[in-house]
Amino acid sequence: MDIFTTEIIWQAIGFIALFFVFLAFKETNDRKLIVYLAIGSGIWGIHFSLIWLIAAAAVNFFDVGKNLIWLKYEKNNYWVSFFIVSYLIIWIFTYNHTWNIASFLPTLSSIIWAVAVFWFRWIPLRLLLLSTLWIWLIYNLIGGSYAWIASDIALTWATLYGIYKLKYNPEKSSS
């Protein structure tokens, strides 16, 4: 298999992940949002592993567990603290192997996301998620993940749409 074909496969896996994450960000039900994100994170982890963005891969594989734990333990300081410390350890490990300071960006995004998912709901949750998208956009512009760059742009619009739906149709929303 030539490098061009391999590149297409790696990016295609990213676009599959984008599909699940897009479903999540337009969702008004917080529990469904988290399940879709868990699926998307697992697929993103594979994508980033294949293009050697190790910090992003580690964070995404770890996010699968975080998202599933949230389903059982909402608003739990122990778990939020555990995830924050774990993300910092992941960053230290990946930084020591890559010497890339930009590897802190997925960590920063994941810390914000851990706090957001455990402590916020509805519109505030989605506004914090929006901030994490912009952090990831910077990282992916540096790392060259075309699927995730497209994801960041599409998810910004999906998040804004989800916020609009929550604001103008709150009776259709449930957590």
**Spatial distance between the Cα atoms of 42 and 50, rounded to a whole number of angstroms:** 13
- pLDDT over 90 at 76, yes or no: no
- Spatial CA neighbour of 39 closest among 12, 19, 69: 19
Angle between helices 104-119 and 77-98 (to 10 degrees): 170
**Spatial distance between the Cα atoms of 59 and 67, rounded to a whole number of angstroms:** 12
pTM for the structure as a whole: 0.72
* Per-residue pLDDT, 172: 55
* Per-residue pLDDT, 170: 60
